[in-house]
Structure 1
Amino acid sequence: MKAEDFQADCKRVGGFKPSSIALAIAVASSVSAAVTAQEQLEIEEVIITATARPVTKMESSISVSALDTEELSNYAPRSTAEVFRSLPGIRAESSGGGGNANITVRGIPLATGGSKYMQIHEDGLPVLEYGDVNFGNTDNFIRADSSLSRIESVRGGSASTFASNSPGGVINMISKTGEEEGGNIGLSFGADYDETRLNFGYGHHLSDTLRFYVGGFLREGEGVRETGFDGDSGGQLKANLTKDFDNGYVRLYYKHLDDRVTTYLPGPVTYKGNGEFGTVANFDASSQTLHSDNYRNISTFDAYGNPVNRDLSDGIESLVEAYGFESQFEFENGWTITDKFRISDISGSFISPFTDTFGNYGPQSAQSMADLICANAVSGEGSAVDCSTGTTVTYANGGEVDELAYLNLLFDTEIHDLGLIVNDFKVDKLINDNIVVSAGFYYSKQNIKTSWNSWNALIQSVDGSDSQNLSITANANGDLLVDDGLWSASFLSYAWDLEYETYAPYMNVSFDVGDFTFDVSARHDMVNAKGSLVSSCCGGDTDYDINGDGIISDVEDASASDAFGFTGGIITMANGNTQLVDYDADNTSFSLGGNYAINDSMAVFARYSEGGRAIADRLLQISGALNSDGSLSDTTDGFDSVDQLEIGYKFTAGDFDIFATYFNTITEETNAEITSGLTFVREYEAQGIELEGSYIYGDFSVNGNLTWTDAEISKDANNPSVVGNTPRRQADIIYTITPQYNFGNSLTFGASLQGSTEYYVSDSNQLKQDGYVLVNLFGSYYVTEDLTVSFNVNNLTDEFVVTEVEESYAEAGDVVRGRAISGRSTSVSFNYAF
């Protein structure tokens, strides 16, 4: 895009003008007409998202918003999830780095992780059918790059019937398809952190009816936090080819993702009191991690007891090979047929240090950690260890330790297969120019084949990217309690091998009566689940020199007791416990909405919806949910439900837009949390108001959104004491405000203010994070028509904010385990358009 064109568009749409960017996205094949990029600017008030036919924003009874590629850099994102948190109503906790984010919408809870109730799509089809797979969050397998045209979100109950397993809404990442010829090549690098990234893209018309687009990125570096190694490494290539016909089009799609990012799990932080958290000695959880080049090479066992060597720098490894097909044709008498198909081969791994406590073993001085371990230790023969003369703790390579020590429970999971096959077929019929009847059939097959390697329990120093393994010896008889960091060779081991098939017929009827627009839709999801989970822990039949020192110590001896009194280091799969999975579940969703256009600039709408979300692999962690033969027990029907009422008001007047939506939501939750071992069988209630708007005055524009939520836990089968409390991490208000000023045609400068009021970090409502504002700066200078220099600053004021804390209570001065938003980081970019 040329500089003058971009400036003109900024003046026209204000950078982020909700009424002008509610454009076409294909949410579960709900698209009923192809719209080119040029046409979008001409009919920018027309939307075809989660509707049976194109209608204007003022005529629709849904909530939809979007970000285009020019806007993405305004939010100084360091991950795709950091882009999502700029969308109205979306709560995206991006403290995990380039993946492993927690995402939800409009007061729907985040009991654990992932995006359980909100689907993430690419070009109208889900990336994964289930967004909260253990260690397989959907955002692990998506990247925002030059191939992206825009990101759009549909929030609320209408998504329940236009996509499976999405009762809260859909975020859709839409690719460029070559309508606009030309391309770009860009180079960006961290000014105060180590990462270099190359972005590229190119679209071209091979003929009047044939066009293509190819784009992607390559990157290498340490990332925004100090790790001591290049943990962010890899890239993506996306391509599509479109053949246009007089009455439709056919498109082929390809995606290759091979990327690694460091993921940040909870680490030691200090609770200062009054909702404020901060650093501990030698460690800043917002700019450092407990990853270290000192112990990158990890030896462990897979779920079958076989030795495995792992590399800590792999972090979240994402491997995707996807092929897709899309077609849409219009026929005489008002018929339109749309079909979308994709097959994705998805695999990877997840490895990262987690700060555990095992009760009393939280972060503490190295000597007190050593004494505590000794006091509770058993010898190789199973008898108590003599600690009468104390203990000695040293670095594994020698030297006394005067730092905090922590228990690193090394999360180590290999993702063998998260492959997804999905197809969505839909037929629309236009009747008398005011009635549209739509019917479709959706099918998907989601594999979940992962193995949790034996999670080593390591004792290490708390020292940012220079953390080291510690050795601990009981002085009385010289028992080696911790051998080169290794306290226990195994904690647990799982092997998941599951397959979920979804069949979903759906139907929608929409019609106009004067200034009224109505629609009613229904969807019936049928899920067939098969497979098994084999779990094993803490026993075995093989000696293994895990640390490679040539000596089999007690913690490596299969015939000896480990730190927990179990014999051996790992159990073979033959001795594990097997839970079969073999059940069918179904759910019917419906949505009813209506809109009244008061005049050309004002409208009101209302919608009521009941939607469902199938419970996938986490159901196996709920005690008693499945019978021994794999069938569902009487305690669950295999689905969680979300009921929503929405009432909205829309107003647009030239350079000013405002949209307000009241929502009332009741959510069922059946879930399990790995880190605490807790299970949740609950109901939540929430109500609130979502606002979004924009204003343009000459070269100045401001846009923003704010969501107020009043939420509570209304039922809890396992812990009635939390009933009436505010759900964890649910703030009363979250908001994003983005002012921007264009200095002629050569310079753009602005800021993004992303804030939250205080919130409780646990359901007990005893410990809270104070409110905060993150300030992000952005600016672009157009050296020539084609060459642009840009910068952005993320978290300018270097705020220390935790999104989650493992502990539910703490006194001022206590060390707890929290996951912090990354501190200040600055990037500089050069982009050449051609």
Structure 2
Amino acid sequence: MKSQTKLTRLVLSAAIAATLASGAVMAQDTNAANQPPVPAPASQPVPPPPAPANAAQAKQLDQVVVTGNAANGGLKKIDTSYNITVANEEAIRLANPKSTADLLKISPGLWPESTGGQTGANIEIAGFPGGGDAPFNTVQMMGSPLYGFPTLSFFEQTSIFRLDDTVQRVEIIQGGPGVVFADGQMGASENFILKTGTDQPSGSIGVTYGNEGLWRADGFYGFKVADRWYGSIGGFYRKSDGVRDPQFAADKGGQLTATLSHDLENGTLTFWARALNDKNQFITPIPLIQDGTHNFRSYPGFDPLTDTYYSKDIQHVTLPGYPGGGTHADLADGRGAKVNFAGLNFDNDLGDGWSISDKFLVMGGDVDTNALFSGTNPASLDDKLYNLTSNFGGFGLPAGSATATYKNGAAVDPNQSVISQGWWYIHKHLRNMNNDFRISKELFEGNTLTAGLYVSKSWDDDKWNLGNNMLMTNTPNAKPITVSYVDGGVVKQLTDNQGFLDYGSFNITEQGRSTNKAFYLSDSWRVGPWLFDLSARTENQDATNKVCNLTNVNLDGNNNTLYDNAVPVCNGTYSKPHYDKTHTSYTGGANYEIAPNMSVYIRANKGYHFSDFDNGIRGQSPVDNFPPLQKLENFEGGFKYQSELFFLDMSVYHRLFSGLLFTPTDVNGTPLTGQQAVYGSDSKGVNIAAAVSPTKDFKVQVVAAYLDGKYSHYDACIPNTNLVTGQTTCTFINGVKLQRQPTFRYILTPSYHFPMSWGDITAQVSYTRVGPHTQDISGLQQLGTYHTFDFAIVANIQDHWQVRLQGTNITNELGLTESNSRIFGTAAGSDGVILARPLEGREINAQVKYLF
């Protein structure tokens, strides 16, 4: 691992050095905004160069988009009968995303929870009842999905993608034709298009410093290799203490991306590759005090904006329950990624109305999780040892029998607040290969038929050490606690010498193998101002998942060491369910161009969501008793308008889901199989993206969403334990609002452009308002509302220099995105203590960049 990190750093350093050297020789006295556009494949044409900040909005709908349609050369945004958001390189930077997932906030209706750090985000889509990870979101690079499933347990696709200066633009679609193209995602897909080289060599080198202890270097260089051959190379390296400092590097690593493209006589060929090696702290919920149902405040001793449980004292551990005889693990490895990608895009016009396109991707690497996961709510050491029942995390030891010490042997105060949390390690080795081939033929004027074949092969090799709990102080940068006690004159060890109360409850190995095959047809027909499209996709998912069966074992044979008396270990036998499902998805839309700057559309589609290795395919009893396919019926309509003064892109929708699956877990996070609930949902909403430009230099942008979404089709109730009374109750979910999705959310961004004699300055402030939202499908745990202020100031100095200052949550707002996901129902105890993920505190970054 260390040698790979050093190699990545050396390669990045060499690339940056080459960029600087080339820039010194080839720099031209031309403003970067006036450089020629980067060429792209015929099926992925580059829109016009990004307009300066004082340009009118009239060109917004003239942007050409390639995601979600089969048109040769793409479609203008005004002609698309679906919801799509496009952001160029500068728009991505101005959004000031804290992570790849956080960027999705620019698309109305997308709700990324970025409080967990750089990776492992929960991504909610308005009207799509997710509730964890990102089951209805796909990340594409150059039009190819990064992995065969959008999500697995402890993995979602933004975790293996990092933003940097090699990205030219992103196109984000929701619903609509996504059910047919690429991997058939019925939710949302974001397609990142990479920069390629140009005839005129150009590039940039930048250094960023952040108040959270961030140092980051970025570089990009695009160049001509030979006649009609072009290359590019770029990437970043960074190290950060994090807003929530864990006493080691919270984020550390880098990325390197290269492309080689060739202009053909009637098309393009692009090869690309990317290597990512990045380690990221996965932020754990911290304690807060809840007053009433919607108000939250800081817990004594914890700063909700900057504190974390992570520390050097719990950083390095030995995990005897890990499959194969145990292993060592390091919190600093976090929920990171060490993944390599390679791909190619080929597009060619064959003449006589024929054209072909092929997109290929191969990836492989490790996406591991080393992180803390919340257990029961904190309590005093004395209560934890003697007074609380097991429902509340108590141990029920004989009164006065225990001895509790820190690692250095010092005694722990009986009044010390303590907590037991999962220190989990999940090793995921992922591989994937997919290919999307299309051939199109213009049947007659205005009508084009496209046939496509998509094939994906996916592998997932896992080892899990899940459910183990460590006893630690309920303090920032926690310290582990060891406990022994005397029972009947015999000394018993409640914990090991690391503070572990057990060695896990779900220590499995997993070998998943999947083949996805899909054939699709799409026909588009332009009739005057009308553009109609009708598409269908027949898809088969054929998967197996070999998972070891477990037997409880006393690892050391000593009954007085309680932490390892019943450790589940692989017993040499396996469960191997075979999942083979086929479905057909449909979509149809009609767009009417009222005027060159105004259009209206309607669309209907039906899509399906397959089970994945960790959700639905594994752990079924009997082996092949799989849950039903999740089905979506979506109806939407939209209106688009542009003028020099005003821009509006608005859509309304009605979404019906069936086949949703809820699997409860115990306090250790172990899935309780056989207790699954299958239900549905009914959602209606409005998504709006708008802008007003009263003058050429002043602009106000709005991204807004309203959702009325409720669960349906489940008449039974779900049992849960009340944390205040300790009694088991039963909760009905019909009519309850969709979990974790705000009723409304909007971002209001005024900006002003100041022309100067030496260049220009653009300044903007973003006000975000998040409405009421809840934790889980019970709707019992409210998470309140909040608002934040972010800002950006960007100065372009003469021809080559750019300086930017950007900040997030500058007013240090306390806002929650989730509470303890392992507690169903109300998560606050009788003292009002709740474990939750609040927003990170103020973060301000400054960058100096040289462009050439």
TM (normalized to structure 1)?
0.88
* In structure 2, C-alpha distance between the alignment counterparts of 1:435 and 1:32, rounded to whole Å: 19
Q: Is the 8 A contact 1:791 1:827 kept in 2?
A: yes
Paired residue secondary structure (1:768):
coil
User: Larger relative CO (CA 8 A, sep 6+): 1 or 2?
Assistant: 1
CA deviations on 1:176-218 (whole Å, 9 max, x unpaired) are 1124631111111212x12211111110122341111111110
Q: 1:406 aligns with which of 396, 406, 419?
A: 419
Q: Is the 8 A contact 1:301 1:570 kept in 2?
A: no
Q: Is the 8 A contact 1:619 1:671 kept in 2?
A: no
Q: 1:621 to 1:561 in 2, by over 3 A?
A: farther
* In structure 2, C-alpha distance between the alignment counterparts of 1:737 and 1:6, rounded to whole Å: 28
Q: 1:77 to 1:347 in 2, by over 3 A?
A: same
Q: 1:627 aligns with which of 622, 626, 630?
A: 622
Q: Identify unmatched segments of 5+ residues in structure 1.
A: 10-20, 26-30, 378-383, 544-556
* In structure 1, C-alpha distance between the alignment counterparts of 2:222 and 2:776, rounded to whole Å: 48
Q: Residue type matched to 2:420 in 1?
A: L
Q: Is the 8 A contact 1:302 1:452 kept in 2?
A: no
Q: 2:840 aligns with which of 818, 822, 830?
A: 822
Number of the residue aligned with 1:548:
none
Q: Residue type matched to 1:712 in 2?
A: K
TM-superposed CA distance for 1:822, in Å, is 1.4
Q: 2:86 aligns with which of 46, 61, 66?
A: 66
Q: 2:338 aligns with which of 319, 322, 335?
A: 319
Which runs of 4 or more aligned residues in structure 1 lie more than 6 Å from their structure 2 counterparts after TM superposition? 1-4, 6-9, 39-43, 373-377
CA deviations on 1:316-373 (whole Å, 9 max, x unpaired) are 130111121211110110111101111101213101111202xxxx211122222248
Q: 1:5 to 1:732 in 2, by over 3 A?
A: farther
TM-superposed CA distance for 1:471, in Å, is 2.3
Number of the residue aligned with 1:425:
437
Q: Is the 8 A contact 1:268 1:355 kept in 2?
A: no
Q: 1:777 aligns with which of 791, 796, 808?
A: 791
The answer to whether residue 379 in structure 2 is matched with residue 364 in structure 1 is yes
Matches within 5 A, 1:473-492: 473-474=484-485, 477=489, 478-484=491-497, 485-492=499-506
Q: 1:831 to 1:718 in 2, by over 3 A?
A: farther
Paired residue secondary structure (2:277):
strand
TM-superposed CA distance for 1:784, in Å, is 3.7
* In structure 2, C-alpha distance between the alignment counterparts of 1:263 and 1:748, rounded to whole Å: 34
Matches within 5 A, 1:13-92: 33-36=43-46, 44-53=62-71, 54-92=74-112
* In structure 2, C-alpha distance between the alignment counterparts of 1:204 and 1:386, rounded to whole Å: 70
Matches within 5 A, 1:495-644: 495-536=509-550, 538-540=552-554, 542-543=555-556, 557=557, 559-560=559-560, 562=562, 568=565, 570-574=567-571, 578-620=574-616, 625=620, 627-628=622-623, 631=624, 633=625, 636-637=627-628, 639-644=629-634
Q: Is the 8 A contact 1:62 1:158 kept in 2?
A: yes
Q: Is the 8 A contact 1:32 1:52 kept in 2?
A: no
Number of the residue aligned with 2:689:
692
Paired residue secondary structure (1:775):
strand
CA deviations on 1:149-198 (whole Å, 9 max, x unpaired) are 1121011221101132410121112111124631111111212x122111
- Using the TM superposition, name which of 142-151 and 487-496 deviates more: 487-496
Paired residue secondary structure (1:798):
coil
Number of the residue aligned with 2:289:
270
* In structure 2, C-alpha distance between the alignment counterparts of 1:647 and 1:385, rounded to whole Å: 59
Q: 2:706 aligns with which of 685, 689, 708?
A: 708
* In structure 1, C-alpha distance between the alignment counterparts of 2:391 and 2:43, rounded to whole Å: 68
TM-superposed CA distance for 1:404, in Å, is 1.5
Q: Is the 8 A contact 1:407 1:460 kept in 2?
A: yes
The answer to whether residue 150 in structure 2 is matched with residue 145 in structure 1 is no
TM-superposed CA distance for 1:49, in Å, is 3.0
Paired residue secondary structure (1:183):
strand
* In structure 2, C-alpha distance between the alignment counterparts of 1:820 and 1:676, rounded to whole Å: 25
Matches within 5 A, 1:280-291: 280-291=299-310
TM-superposed CA distance for 1:436, in Å, is 0.8
Number of the residue aligned with 1:493:
507
CA deviations on 1:350-400 (whole Å, 9 max, x unpaired) are 01111202xxxx2111222222489999xxxxxx99724353433232143
TM-superposed CA distance for 1:278, in Å, is 2.8
Number of the residue aligned with 2:3:
none
Number of the residue aligned with 1:653:
643
* In structure 2, C-alpha distance between the alignment counterparts of 1:676 and 1:716, rounded to whole Å: 24
CA deviations on 1:396-448 (whole Å, 9 max, x unpaired) are 32143353200111121011x21110000000112333011100100001112
Number of the residue aligned with 2:8:
none
CA deviations on 1:293-316 (whole Å, 9 max, x unpaired) are 012111013553412111111101
* In structure 1, C-alpha distance between the alignment counterparts of 2:585 and 2:840, rounded to whole Å: 39
* In structure 1, C-alpha distance between the alignment counterparts of 2:617 and 2:354, rounded to whole Å: 47
* In structure 2, C-alpha distance between the alignment counterparts of 1:760 and 1:521, rounded to whole Å: 37
* In structure 1, C-alpha distance between the alignment counterparts of 2:610 and 2:149, rounded to whole Å: 8
Matches within 5 A, 1:367-386: 367-372=382-387
Q: 1:249 to 1:90 in 2, by over 3 A?
A: same
* In structure 1, C-alpha distance between the alignment counterparts of 2:391 and 2:848, rounded to whole Å: 58
TM-superposed CA distance for 1:34, in Å, is 4.2
Q: 1:788 aligns with which of 797, 802, 806?
A: 802
Q: 1:247 to 1:653 in 2, by over 3 A?
A: same
CA deviations on 1:123-142 (whole Å, 9 max, x unpaired) are 11111222220112211111
Number of the residue aligned with 2:10:
none
Paired residue secondary structure (2:159):
helix
Paired residue secondary structure (1:716):
coil
Paired residue secondary structure (2:501):
strand
Q: Residue type matched to 2:309 in 1?
A: L
Q: Residue type matched to 1:821 in 2?
A: L
Q: 1:729 to 1:74 in 2, by over 3 A?
A: same
TM (normalized to structure 2)?
0.86
Q: 1:229 to 1:39 in 2, by over 3 A?
A: closer
Q: Residue type matched to 1:289 in 2?
A: T
Number of the residue aligned with 1:135:
154
Q: 1:61 to 1:538 in 2, by over 3 A?
A: same
Q: Residue type matched to 2:631 in 1?
A: S
* In structure 2, C-alpha distance between the alignment counterparts of 1:717 and 1:534, rounded to whole Å: 35
